[in-house]
Amino acid sequence: MPYRVTFVCTGNICRSPMAEWVLRHHVEEEGLDVEVDSSGTGGWHVGDGADDRTVAALARAGYRSAHIARQFEDHWFDRYDLILALDEGHLRALRAMAPDGEARGKIRLLREFDPDADGDLDVPDPYYGGRADFDLVLEQVEAAMPALLEEIRAALKEA
């Protein structure tokens, strides 16, 4: 059975799809048995593609992407092994939705895996910004990948 990871941001068009496709790239490259997807805490963009600026940032860095936004649903907790929130607001929303302690235990902040996060664990929302804001998000996502992959590899060995 594959290890299942999901990323959650606000509308599922900027940060979480970016993180999804960066992790997808790495697990595919390593041949790990991991399923990766993403969603948002709100439904404003359900059915939309990723923001063009997200797609462009991913492409500039050599990542592929294909995405349709969706909203996280409370009955999905059983589906995932690891639920990664992109900021404290998403973390609070997910914890409030969680049906029990086991579900709450699956929820983490992505930047917990970034050794250089320096106490600020929020990935900033680039939606109202420009190219530099999207590039910063990509940089923060990539910085978290080595430790996240280490955690995933360890979980796969335990399974």
d(CA 157, CA 43): 36
Catalytic member of 14, 15, 24, 114: 15
Known catalytic membership, residue 15: yes
Known catalytic membership, residue 14: no
Known catalytic membership, residue 9: yes
Catalytic member of 4, 70, 104, 125: 125
Q: Report, as residue numbers or ranges, the catalytic residues.
A: 9, 15, 125
